[in-house]
Structure 1
Amino acid sequence: MTHFSPRRRLAFAAGLLSGIVALSGCTTVAPSPPPPIQVKVFVAAMFEIGQNTGDRAGEFQHWYERYWKGAAPITVPGALQPVYCNADGVCGAVLGMGKVNSSSSMQAILLNSRFDFSQAYYVISGVAGTPPQRGTIGEVSWGTWLVDYDLGHRWAPEENKAGEPTFMPRKGYEDYRRFQLNPALVGWAMKLSADTPLKDSQAARTYRLRYPDEAARRAPFVGTGTHMTGDTFFHGPGMSRQAQYIAKLYGADDYVITEMEAAAITLVIKRTHGTDRVMSLRGAVNFDQGHPGESTLAHLDPAPGETAGGFSETVENVALVGSRVVDHIVLNWPQWRDGVPAR
């Protein structure tokens, strides 16, 4: 055994201690994660045609250029596209088309720790169809009710008595086959946006004249009504009558919009934060049936030059109308933070 003098033992201990101190100085402490983003308003679009800016606009581009141009994308596992946020707490993303696609993206975003949605408002935004008896090309509609078109039993008309409905609700879906959106919030949306100057096009004005309905011939306007959610692009007067039948069967308002996502996205939001702060905003780019001289198939698959026109104007109209509400909420956040204020 080697024996050290007291002086050598002291020197050895001092060297060992200095080595430990040096090693501890090299230890890297992981930075704390940033606090979650406090989301005041979340804008959900379903698709974009190309890039988020600088080309032909789809549902997201006008929103992006107004609120997030230059913002860093936030990748969310499970979501179709990144989320963008600005310094004012306005966030948004493209969720994908259809009920499953959009709602799965919304769920992933809601559960991501980068965001705090506890006080957020939602604008479910996009394009849609409308029945010519109640709407027109270029109009913008705030949803009062969201009705799921698909949850039930449906059969072929030839297998039924003439003129009778070919749809029957299925029991068990009562809590999520229709949602009444907060009337106070819809009232605020209309108060803030009803007089928004809307874009129109000569192509849309010409196309409207093919229809005899007074509503179909109207210039674009801001209105309200039931939004009918279905994964099927239904066309024709028979399917339109069925949609209206379902809306009235469920106690909703007349349906004015046909779309593919809002009821499913709202169900996801309801299960996490409730529906009092949900808004559905749609712009009509087509009629859900042909004019009296046009077959349903011809309307569904129009020849070149026979489409409705007005798409680019409508997607801009949606953002013009919706941004009035978004801007008001953010500017007056102390009044909106704890819930929809009295008007």
Structure 2
Amino acid sequence: MEITLAMRILRTALLLLLAATAPAFAQPEPIKVKVFIASMFEIGENTGDRAGEFQYWFDDYWKDATPIEVRGATHPVFCNDDGVCGAVLGMGKVASSSSMMAILLNPAFDFSQSYYLLTGVAGTPPSRGTIGSVFWGSWLIDYDLGHRWAEGEVPAGDPLFMPRKGYEDVRLFQLNPALTARAFAISRDVPLADSDSAQTYRQRYPDAVAKGAPVVGTGTHMTGDTFFHGPGLSAEAQYIADLYQADDYVITEMEAAALAQVIGRLHGTDRIMSLRGAVNFDQGNPDESTLAHLDPKPGETAGGFDETLQNIHAVGAVVVTDIVTNWNQWQSGVPAQ
């Protein structure tokens, strides 16, 4: 009896000793994200078929990466060994921003020093851009946060939009001017792809900018779930940009201002870059109705879609490479030019 009791005591002591000295179950270290690349949609697979917004990024950075599922996000996140991560977030303000918040809050990632590259295709006014051009966003404006009324319900020539009070902090974001300027300086001379179909389509417009070759530029990105078209609403977008004392409106898209709000809540907006390529004009040519422009006849589309995707990737990738290669300079903030 005494031997049995002694053995039990000894066994208990050994178990307690093992528990005290055994290493705790190791939790994996979160991935330190240097650059997060956000795209809004992919047409089919991530690689090997017709490219959407994500495919050129995927082929460049994540072909061998293991997908990381994130609860609440529409698509998995991919990361490489250099700290470049990315995902498809979904189209529109709600889908994209909810995916972004789920990713930001996931403990698998460390976003404490991350830069964000928000990318995708977009529209442009023919007076300021053309098919294939790529624009860095200097300001992000939410097109939808305000009051609107029909023409004819106010005196002729009066504006049809008024800002709604209470949204001052979320309807307008000036992105870090130093970061925008640095990204533009790094990428302004990147050669851009073009297509015969886009060149032909541009000649339908009288504007010199619309007829010209694609370029890299900067300006205001207008975010709206309303997929607006026509010279009237294009003029309204510029009116809103002027009203908020932002730069000229150059891009119409559907996600950036919402994503800026989400990222800003957790990490601020100083490291956000918005990069969009124009695949359509925001209005028809002077001889074309808005409906005809929205629903073109076969053979009358703008062309240049894939070339614009290539341009977005080419322009953005040189900035991503600069950040990752010179991380010791970028880690604490945008390096001086």
Deviations 1:245-275 (A, max 9, x none): 0000001011000000000000111111111
**Equivalent position of 1:6 in the other structure:** none
SS of residue paired to 1:215:
helix
SS of residue paired to 2:141:
strand
Note the residue ranges of structure 1 that are not aligned, 5 or more in a row: 1-8
SS of residue paired to 2:156:
coil
Correspondence for 2:54 among 57, 60, 66: 60
The 2-side partners of 1:29 and 1:54 are apart by 45
Correspondence for 2:213 among 216, 219, 228: 219
Which residue type is aligned with residue 10 of structure 1?
A: E
Correspondence for 1:312 among 292, 306, 317: 306
Which residue type is aligned with residue 241 of structure 1?
A: A
The 2-side partners of 1:30 and 1:79 are apart by 31
1:86 is aligned to 2:80: yes
**Equivalent position of 2:295 in the other structure:** 301
Correspondence for 1:16 among 8, 28, 31: 8
- Counterparts of residues 171-320 of structure 1 (less than 5 Å): 171-320=165-314
TM-aligned CA deviation for residue 182 of structure 1: 0.8
**Equivalent position of 1:45 in the other structure:** 39
**Equivalent position of 1:3 in the other structure:** none
SS of residue paired to 2:251:
strand
Structure 1 residues 57, 26: CA separation in 2 closer, same or farther (over 3 Å shift)?
Answer: farther
Correspondence for 2:65 among 71, 74, 89: 71
Which residue type is aligned with residue 36 of structure 1?
A: P
**Equivalent position of 2:118 in the other structure:** 124
SS of residue paired to 1:241:
helix
TM-score (norm 2): 0.96
SS of residue paired to 1:258:
strand
1:167 is aligned to 2:161: yes
The 1-side partners of 2:289 and 2:17 are apart by 79
Deviations 1:46-99 (A, max 9, x none): 000011111111000000111111101111111111111111111101000001
TM-aligned CA deviation for residue 175 of structure 1: 1.0
Q: Alignment RMSD, CA only?
A: 1.7
The 2-side partners of 1:235 and 1:289 are apart by 5
TM-score (norm 1): 0.94
1:156 is aligned to 2:150: yes
Note the residue ranges of structure 2 that are not aligned, 5 or more in a row: none
TM-aligned CA deviation for residue 26 of structure 1: 11
TM-aligned CA deviation for residue 21 of structure 1: 7.4
The 2-side partners of 1:26 and 1:49 are apart by 55
The 2-side partners of 1:215 and 1:301 are apart by 24
Which one has the largest radius of gyration? 1
1:332 is aligned to 2:306: no
TM-aligned CA deviation for residue 30 of structure 1: 6.9
SS of residue paired to 2:102:
helix
The 1-side partners of 2:294 and 2:247 are apart by 26
SS of residue paired to 1:324:
helix
TM-aligned CA deviation for residue 206 of structure 1: 0.4
The 2-side partners of 1:238 and 1:12 are apart by 93
Deviations 1:292-337 (A, max 9, x none): 1110001011122111000011011101000000000000001110
Correspondence for 1:144 among 138, 160, 169: 138
TM-aligned CA deviation for residue 158 of structure 1: 2.3
Which residue type is aligned with residue 220 of structure 2?
A: T
The 1-side partners of 2:135 and 2:317 are apart by 14
Structure 1 residues 44, 19: CA separation in 2 closer, same or farther (over 3 Å shift)?
Answer: same
TM-aligned CA deviation for residue 186 of structure 1: 0.9
SS of residue paired to 1:227:
strand
